[in-house]
Amino acid sequence: MSYHDYIIVGSGIAGLYTALLAKEQGSVLVITKGSIDDCNTRYAQGGIAAAIGKGDSPQLHFRDTIIAGDGLCDEKAVRILANEAPARIAELVNFGVPFDTLDGKIALTLEAAHSVPRILHAGGDATGEHIEVTLSRMVRASKIKLIEDCLATEILVENGTVRGIKALDRRTGSIAEFDCRFLILATGGAGQLFKFNTNSDIATGDGIALAFRAGAEIMDMEFFQFHPTALCLPGVTPFLISEAVRGEGGILRNADGHPFMPDYSPQGDLAPRDVVARSILYEMQKTGSDNVFIDVTHLPPHVTTTRFPHIYQFCLDHGLDIIREPAPVAPAAHYMMGGIKTSSWGETNITGLFAAGETACTGVHGANRLASNSMLEVVVFSKRIIAKTEKKTKQKAAPRPRASKAHHLPDRREVSKPVPAPSLSTLQGLLWEKVGVIRHRKSLTEAAGILAAWQKSLSPPTDRASYERNNLVLTGRLVTEAALLREESRGAHFRTDYPRSLPRWRRHIVFTAK
């Protein structure tokens, strides 16, 4: 057993950035289930949003975020996000993140649903990778203790306060306990719930499951963002085609070559992601095709090759020259907007337990995340977590009060027909078909019954694969049950049996286990 002031679970940008700030306040241990280099951050192409350009302002950034969130954003959290963004960008620059520049100034680009260009990039379309590499280099060079190949399995709580964590050492198969003053979950999302996704294979909902079992509140799980444009090539794992491609002038066309987005939205190709994703599915159904196309052949070749070098090269490596022919794309699961409910200081309802990054639900995204706000959310609220703990190193805060209406997962009856074994592929197929971009009560109810039956049949986990399977089943249940409860359509949650947004549903769905 060992003791640290801070234990951070996860080694993406949220975990690394928080660790670098925390080391100034006390001893820090970072636990990660793979290597420090395994994370979703590396796949983040779009960039990071901040109101630092001429003609922009935090108020404009606030407004765009609120509009995208479709009535469910926490306005206080969004103001914090927009107002503190410039200072956090300056901090990343000081850390050495090499943002792209033009004429000596940081270059800014436009993405969907932003009113002005405010997206910073590094290496064109490799922003996440550059930030991750910069931070991981700093962590390795610091006194921060890092344990790789170590999977967190249980949060230890005594009298409503975090005491530490249990973790599986994947190399020895042994379980160890680590005690701490503050535990920060930075475990990323849960894209592996879905058959088609843009996430790393580490995104298995671990933080959600850990926190839920410990008694933390889980909020907004019905809102899972499906990126509209993932490369769709036979035998090729879905590869993200950044929204910035449309921001630079890329045009979505159906199988007949028709530019269809103006038929669905006055914003055309720059409509919010949920609108674009559904529009693509409708066009695929109309034309009987498995995909649509993103067309950049009308752009000067140097724009594509210099602005999107990774995308261009990946496509070229798979026999597709996007300078000369459109790229086939289709929607894929991308980002979990719900998560562990936190205050604007990253606190959960369990004293000493904090959450950061995609696994947290700060309230800034609401029902639909504005493009490139995710990495910004990490640096803004991670900074606030450390500021909060710095004030409370001698006396811990009282637990936050529970939501007035918290739900528990229902004890569902067994489904009538045989249930397939809960393998990763059957789980992903179930969620994609029945809890995907377009939903309905019948399919959601069927999925809920199967997931409940799976959870009852699961044997105690013994290794990484079985722990991840159990975490995915639980996280899948939270997504599905929340989608069943929300009898309306709002943001990324769309139900054909309730196709409109309703005023009475301008509220959050929160689950607790205790």
Extents of the domains making up the chain: 229-333, 406-511
Q: How high is the pLDDT of residue 241?
A: 94
The predicted pLDDT at position 511 comes to: 98
Q: Is the pLDDT of residue 21 over 60?
A: yes
Average pLDDT over residues 355-359: 98
Q: Which of 120-134, 429-443, 473-487 has the lowest mean pLDDT?
A: 120-134
User: What percent of the chain shows pLDDT beyond 70?
Assistant: 95
d(CA 188, CA 199): 10
| Total Cβ atoms within 10 A of residue 322 | 26
CATH topology of domain 406-511: Methane Monooxygenase Hydroxylase; Chain G, domain 1 (1.20.58)
- Above 50 in pLDDT, residue 227? yes
Identical topology for domains 229-333 and 406-511: no
Tell me how far CA of residue 243 lies from CA of 31, 47, 240, 269, in angstroms.
Answer: 32, 10, 9, 10
Q: What is the pLDDT of residue 449?
A: 95
3-state SS assignment for residue 469: helix
pLDDT of residue 371: 87
Report the range of poorest mean pLDDT among 130-144, 300-314, 387-401.
387-401
Q: State how far the alpha carbon of 205 is from the alpha carbons of 38, 211, 338, in Å.
A: 15, 10, 11
Taking residues 342-367, what's their average pLDDT? 97
Active site residue 273: yes
pLDDT at 46: 62
Phi, psi values for residue 441, rounded to 5°: -55, -45
CA atoms within 13 A on the CB side of 514: 10
On the question of pLDDT at 197 being above 80, the answer is yes
Tell me how far apart the terminal alpha carbons of the chain are, to the nearest angstrom: 28
Contacts (Cβ under 8 Å, ≥6 apart) of 105? none
Question: Contact, 248 vs 298, CB < 8 A?
Answer: no
Alpha helices by DSSP H, 69-159: 75-95, 127-140
Q: Give the pLDDT confidence score for residue 405 in this predicted structure.
A: 77
Q: CB of 123 within 8 A of CB of 98? A: yes
Backbone angles phi and psi of 226, in degrees to 5 = -105, 120
Give the pLDDT band (50/70/90) at residue 317: very high
The span from the CA of 438 to the CA of 331, in Å, is 11
Residue 397 has pLDDT above 90, yes or no: no
> pLDDT for 39-82, tens place per residue?
545 455 568 999 999 999 999 999 999 999 999 999 999 999 99
> Is the C-alpha dihedral spanning 458, 514, 182, 208 positive or negative?
positive
Does the pTM of the predicted model rise above 0.85? yes
Mean pLDDT along residues 508-513: 97
pLDDT at residue 400 tops 70: no
Report d(CA 321, CA 277) in Å as an integer: 24
Taking residues 196-222, what's their average pLDDT? Answer: 97
Pairing of strands 353-355, 175-185: parallel
For position 45, what pLDDT does the model report? 57
- Could you give the dihedral angle defined by the CA atoms of residues 261, 232, 310 and 33, in that order, rounded to the nearest 10 degrees? 120
pLDDT of residue 398: 46
pLDDT for residue 140: 92
pLDDT at residue number 39: 55
Residue 130, amino acid: H
Cα distances from 258 to residues 12, 19, 49, 263, 420, in angstroms, run 40, 49, 31, 10, 41
CATH class for the region spanning 229-333: alpha beta
Q: Give the pLDDT score at 376.
A: 96
3-state secondary structure 314-369: HHHHCCCCCCCCCEEEEEEEEEECCEEECCCCCECCCECEEECHHHEECCCCCCCC
Residue 187: which pLDDT band, with cuts at 50, 70 and 90?
very high
Give the pairing of strands 339-341 and 218-219. Answer: antiparallel
Residue 123 has pLDDT above 90, yes or no: no
R_g over Cα of the chain? 22
Partnered with residue 4 across adjacent β-strands are: 180
494: CB partners within 8 A, 6+ apart: 274, 278, 437, 438, 439
Longest dimension (CA), the chain: 66
**Mean pLDDT, residues 243-266 taken together:** 94
- Residue 416 pLDDT: 63
Average pLDDT estimate for 427-436: 97
- What average pLDDT does the chain have? 93
Lowest pLDDT segment from 108-122, 245-259, 344-358, 459-473 = 108-122
| Rounded average pLDDT over 385-402 | 67
Confidence of residue 282 (pLDDT cuts 50, 70, 90): very high
Predicted pLDDT of residue 415: 65
**Pairwise CA distance, residues 202 & 40, whole Å:** 8
Active-site residue, selected from the candidate residues 88, 118, 273, 469 = 273
* Closest alpha carbon to 457 in 415, 504, 403: 415
